[in-house]
Structure 1
Amino acid sequence: MMAATLPETPFRLDQKRIAQAILLAALVLVVCRNVLPASLVRLPEGLVLPFADWINAAFAFARDDLGLMAFTRAFSDMVEFCLDVTANLLYGKSRWPHVGPIPWVVIAATAGMAGYALAGWRLAALAAGSFVWIAVMGQWKWAMETLSVIVVAAPLSVALGLALGTLAWRFRTAERLLNPILNIAQSLPHFAYMIPVVVFIGVGPKAGAIVTVIFSVPPMIRMTLLGLRGVSPEIIESGKMSGATRLQLMTRVRLPAARTEILIGVNQVIMQSLAMVVLASFIGMPGLGQKLLQLLQALKIGLSFEIGVTIVLLAIVLDRMSKAWAVKQPGHVDGPWLHRHRLLVIWLALVALGFAMAWAHPYFAEVERKQALSLSGPVDAAVGDFIQFIGPVTDWLRWFLISWVLIPLRNAFLWLPTSAVLLALAGIGWRVGGLRSALVCLAFAVPIALSGWWDRAMITAYTVFVSVSLALLIGVPLGLLGAGTETRARRFLLVCDTAQTFPSFIYLIPVIMLFGVNDVAVVAAVVVFATVPIVRYTIEGLRSIPPEIVESAQMSGASPRQLLWHVKLPLAVPTLVVGANQSIMFSLFMVIIAAFIGTQDLGQEMQRALSSTDVGKGLVLGLAVAFMGLMADHLLLSFASRRRSSTGNA
């Protein structure tokens, strides 16, 4: 059933013993904490390095002495011009080309036709219905303010990602330089991107668009590199034999052959853009995010629910349409011009009809707030009744978790000596991957200690630890349930796909409704967000086990329980570990966002740095979060790789 376990080599035994010795030393430091010198409990103030001052000095030099401000202003002016065009077309901002706004019925019809062309009637109904909802609920202008930025930011991100991905594919040195930058960029919290942009650009839509471009470029670079690298040599040879030049080989052979991966990158760019545009409300970006932020601050749950539904619908529509574009293969249709372009003709007819309806009655151009429908009253009433009904349970749960779980655990994390934590991380690293992994862990942890933000980082670590532990307790059983049958697995994975399209802000609505503004709400929001990857990877890990291994175990007389515990789960451990890794990364992102509803961790300080436009402090805090994520990523993926090798599934 499983590969025979090989006897450990002397190196492995030494590695294990060294790790145990280091962990034992860390335990001794914890036990003796009350008699340790103060320098071992917390790093002395004299050893704290002024990273923030150094970064601020570097930014000031780049801005004032290198003239970077002039370049960024020129780029932001170009972006602002593009935003003015899309703003005029989508919601009638009085800028060039002075032809907008396009009536909502026209945009809804266009979305429906695009959905039909990509994937048929279901997607057409979803796309058109979503825009009809936005219009009749009186949220059109806010939604168009959001979309006007995505329409500008996403193409810029795609173009920049294609260029850098192609550069990394062409030159190995460029790839080596980009890889660590991309690793850190994809681990940084959202707020860390905003502060430098505010310093160089200011606040408002153009700042939101530029920070969105920066945030959404990394996945496009990676998918472009992956796609170009995966092109079959036979295809390239065929192109060369046809006499294609290097430029033709790239534009007509390599890029078309890598089309699927590139379009998956486009999907990731669009979803990242929507997530960042919603969060960019913190730097003055108008639209759905700003409105949701205002409503959450006022605890108006009914109106927040309406905005939340709109954001979710936009996310689902953009996700489904971009994925359909990625899987749809280009085809050729023969026949008369009208037959070949029938969808174009139908769309033009619908556009003409939409403009005629808008001319005939202003309701079809824009639904005014007084004409809009609203669910806020019934939702507020239902939420009030539900909270009144479940209030005793949530009140007790909030009291129990805060008094007996969260506060004691937070105090325990803060009580740990810095020296003991560093030693423990080194010991875990040594056990997982030897000296190299131990040094990697210290390389990520020591700068956090030297930054002076150790206590805040430990509060973040405590929140992530609690959240991921609860997510595992919830997600693994759900994954086991979902993996029971093929049909159930598809349904569970569909729910996971849908949940992963939601911008993280959305998860704050139900937890605030249930628990108010406190640590329990933060943990609950993070748990919901972090459970999704665990469910997904549990299902995929169990479903990917070779059928012959399962059949062999069944023929050996294994019961269903033995089959699960002694065959399936051990073989699925590498995939489960990857799920835990993703859960930790999701948790770190969500903890920073959840600082909006009250925490005392790195996220709260990052929001303060954003409000004071302190670039150095913001980047130091962001890098501290990134280093925590990268350290967990290194340890878990190294463990998964070792486990995969030991079970013969490398």
Structure 2
Amino acid sequence: MGMGVMRIPRSAFIWISLFFITLILANYGKLVADAISMNWLVKYPKVWVFPLKDYVSLAMQWLVEDATFGLFTFTEATRGLSWVIEQPYNFVRALLSEGFERGLGKSAVQVLPPLSWLTVLSAVIALGHYAKDWTLAAIVGACFGYLAIFGQWDSAMITLASVVIAVPIGVGGGLLFGILAYRHHWFGRLLKPALDLMQTIPIFAYLVPILFMFGFGPVSALVATVIYAMPPMVRITTMALQSVDPEITDFGLICGCTQSQMTWRILIPSALGSLMVGVNQVIMLSLNMVIIASMIGAGGLGFDVLASLRRLDIGGGFEAGIAIVIMAIAIDRLSQAFAERSTSYVHPKIRNRIYHRHPRSMIVLTVLIFSMVVGFFIPMYQHYPESHTITTGAFWDDSIKYLNINYFDQFEAVKIFFLKSFMLPTKRFFIGIPWPWMTCLLVFIGWTFGGWKLALMNGLMTLFIVTNGMWAKAMITVYLCGVSVVIASVIGIPLGILAAVNKRAGKIIGAVIDTLQTLPSFVYLIPVVMLFRIGDFTAMIAIVLYALAPAVRYAAHGIRSVSSELIEAGIVSGCTPTQILTQIRLPLALPNILLGINQTIMLALSMLVITALVGTRDLGQEVYIALTRADTGHGIIAGLSIAFIAIIADRVISASAKNARIRYGLETTHGH
């Protein structure tokens, strides 16, 4: 019996052929275009560029200078809204940081001091105990104690004031839009693309129009923070309301509830546990925004990190960045505890005296009065004494200096290896692809994975990038994002698999990933710049560190979620552990792994704008340049181009993940 000839599946043959055609065009397309005098096939002519950015800039200028609603102008409306937001912010900032003053400027006299560090510390400890137990109280107390001991208290209170105002606005707005999307399906369909853009357009892109409308200062920073942090609350609200048990809603209808009563007395209480997850997301995104917000006047810890980055002050930047992480951990634990607590209610024992009914509040009030009275005579009870603070700045500076002195050659060798063997060839490949071929290829990919709608969307979004003169920068963006995602996936997916199959490794990997996910994005840049200087390799390292978490988490979740019955069937069939992993677990975990790669791409693209500070030449830098020049049109077009790259990647990978779920019987073609 002769050996059969191995046949390549038709689909594999098509994809291999397309790859080699793309490779040939990337390397020789320019030569062919020059030979036939059709250079426009490779480089989109400037004379063909549609001047949309100029129209956007003119529209923004008209909006700010001339637009009117009859009784008031657009600028008066935004300034009025700014005043409304500014009043509670000024109150909270005075309460936590600056104190209450009478008068203006140098003649201002402080009437009341801010809350003392002892009062705030006792308040967060009391909240921790109220939300859960003494363990949580000790954790949040230690976190806020760290802020005082390490000299970050004043900046941390300014940051906390921003969070205290931004989070209720983000939660309230998200809840309102989520309810409307649940009630009116047409509104939900209209809202979805807007939410996609809010989550994929780099925040730098809409800092410029926000500055135009609200002016430089903390209010602009608060508006930008709310726009950035609100979308998850909208999505979670809609999903939480849709997942409420139909029997509960039927019971409300039987009882004769009006639509308002059904919403606020039936649906919202039933979905409260899920809604608190949305609140937690708003809090974490608001804290993640503090450094970017500091660019337009927010102040606080974010400004400290940004100033340290500009000075290349490693120690100062790390201390302020770690302070943001510490605050994020404390607020995250508190919000999670309140989310769990809200699902159950324990009736308190009825007591007559107020200090029996509210013991924690009475303790905090006592500390407040004590610190205010005694603080007039002994300042340390009001302000944590600077002489008692600790600094780790010298440690971080010395560590980086030691690494540079002793391991410079090794770091340089690693950098050169990656640049020559991987990054630069990939860059040449993407820059060399003719734009008509890439457009057709993306249309074909959309058609293959998602049908004509995805194909049309891919084509229109790609043509938007091309016709607005952003093609060359977009390809550099794709190259840098692609390289970073490949490396993050190569590192992250095996780590996720290891975390799923080994409990001890899972705990260690989980702790490392939690730390990476809570560090502000700017913090990654400081040590990487000092070790590798500016350039694409530095940007790639920072992006990989920032975007690694989803690849690990989704891979671990996918491996863990494989049915134990299937694994037992494999064991009974005589499969080895390696065969169970490669032939059962990994194929069934593929949809989750693909979604993890999808999220890694999203984080990588969001980080690209920040890495523009270290010398990249992509769309992220275009957005950053537009911000520094206050060029609204250019910033929005570059931001939309990044968003469209993100949306194309998201839709294609989501469609392929859905196809994988259908292929492995995890989902039917109707999605049930």
The TM-score normalised by the length of structure 2 is 0.90
After superposition, the Cα gap between the structure-2 partners of 1:20 and 1:513, relative to the gap in structure 1 and judged at 3 Å, is closer
Q: Distance in 1 between matches of 2:602 and 2:216?
A: 28
Match among 156, 167, 174 for residue 154 of structure 1: 167
Opposite residue 588 of structure 2, the aligned amino acid is L
SS across alignment from 1:65: coil
The residue aligned with 1:196 is 209
SS across alignment from 1:483: helix
The residue aligned with 1:89 is 95
The residue aligned with 1:269 is 282
SS across alignment from 1:373: coil
After superposition, the Cα gap between the structure-2 partners of 1:239 and 1:433, relative to the gap in structure 1 and judged at 3 Å, is closer
The residue aligned with 1:258 is 271
Match among 68, 71, 96 for residue 74 of structure 2: 68
Unaligned runs of 5+ in 2: 1-8, 103-109, 668-672
Contact 1:40 1:419 in 2 (8 A): yes
The residue aligned with 2:32 is 35
Match among 583, 597, 600 for residue 583 of structure 1: 600
Deviation at 1:495, TM superposition (A): 4.1
Opposite residue 67 of structure 2, the aligned amino acid is D
The higher-RCO structure (CA 8 Å, 6+ apart) is 1
Deviation at 1:371, TM superposition (A): 4.9
SS across alignment from 1:395: helix
Deviation at 1:518, TM superposition (A): 2.5
Alignment of 1:108-257 (within 5 A): 108-257=121-270
Opposite residue 475 of structure 1, the aligned amino acid is G
- 2:63 counterpart of 1:50: no
- 2:403 counterpart of 1:399: no
The residue aligned with 2:670 is none
Deviation at 1:145, TM superposition (A): 1.6
Deviation at 1:125, TM superposition (A): 1.8
Deviation string 1:100-138 (CA, Å, 9 cap, x unpaired) is 311111111111111122232232122112222212222
SS across alignment from 2:44: coil
After superposition, the Cα gap between the structure-2 partners of 1:353 and 1:488, relative to the gap in structure 1 and judged at 3 Å, is farther
- 2:494 counterpart of 1:489: no
After superposition, the Cα gap between the structure-2 partners of 1:238 and 1:343, relative to the gap in structure 1 and judged at 3 Å, is farther
The residue aligned with 1:334 is 349
Match among 600, 612, 617 for residue 629 of structure 2: 612
SS across alignment from 2:289: helix
Deviation string 1:247-280 (CA, Å, 9 cap, x unpaired) is 3332222111111122111111111111222211
- 2:435 counterpart of 1:418: yes
Deviation at 1:434, TM superposition (A): 3.7
Point out the more displaced range, 465-474 or 505-514: 505-514
Contact 1:103 1:354 in 2 (8 A): yes
Match among 120, 128, 134 for residue 107 of structure 1: 120
- 2:320 counterpart of 1:307: yes
Deviation at 1:356, TM superposition (A): 5.0
Q: Distance in 1 between matches of 2:77 and 2:173?
A: 17
The residue aligned with 2:476 is 459
Opposite residue 392 of structure 1, the aligned amino acid is D
After superposition, the Cα gap between the structure-2 partners of 1:368 and 1:344, relative to the gap in structure 1 and judged at 3 Å, is closer
Deviation string 1:464-483 (CA, Å, 9 cap, x unpaired) is 11101111111112112111
Number of aligned residue pairs: 638
Opposite residue 615 of structure 1, the aligned amino acid is T
Opposite residue 82 of structure 2, the aligned amino acid is S
After superposition, the Cα gap between the structure-2 partners of 1:333 and 1:141, relative to the gap in structure 1 and judged at 3 Å, is same
Q: Distance in 1 between matches of 2:485 and 2:128?
A: 37
Opposite residue 326 of structure 1, the aligned amino acid is A
Point out the more displaced range, 630-639 or 495-504: 495-504
Point out the more displaced range, 484-493 or 544-553: 484-493
Q: Distance in 2 between matches of 1:505 and 1:578?
A: 25
- 2:83 counterpart of 1:77: yes
Unaligned runs of 5+ in 1: 1-11
Opposite residue 322 of structure 1, the aligned amino acid is S
Opposite residue 184 of structure 1, the aligned amino acid is L
Deviation at 1:18, TM superposition (A): 7.9
Deviation at 1:75, TM superposition (A): 0.3
SS across alignment from 2:200: coil
SS across alignment from 1:366: coil
Deviation at 1:334, TM superposition (A): 2.6
Point out the more displaced range, 297-306 or 532-541: 297-306
- 2:446 counterpart of 1:429: yes
RMSD across aligned C-alpha pairs, in angstroms? 2.3
After superposition, the Cα gap between the structure-2 partners of 1:559 and 1:54, relative to the gap in structure 1 and judged at 3 Å, is same
Match among 590, 594, 602 for residue 573 of structure 1: 590
SS across alignment from 2:516: helix
Match among 644, 653, 667 for residue 636 of structure 1: 653
SS across alignment from 1:335: coil
Q: Distance in 2 between matches of 1:107 and 1:634?
A: 46
The residue aligned with 1:538 is 555
Contact 1:203 1:285 in 2 (8 A): no
Deviation string 1:31-87 (CA, Å, 9 cap, x unpaired) is 444112211112222321112112123323333223321211100011122221112
Deviation string 1:424-463 (CA, Å, 9 cap, x unpaired) is 2223223323433322221221111111011111111111
Point out the more displaced range, 466-475 or 143-152: 143-152
Deviation at 1:544, TM superposition (A): 0.2
The residue aligned with 1:389 is 406
Q: Distance in 1 between matches of 2:157 and 2:461?
A: 42
After superposition, the Cα gap between the structure-2 partners of 1:18 and 1:567, relative to the gap in structure 1 and judged at 3 Å, is closer
Point out the more displaced range, 555-564 or 626-635: 555-564
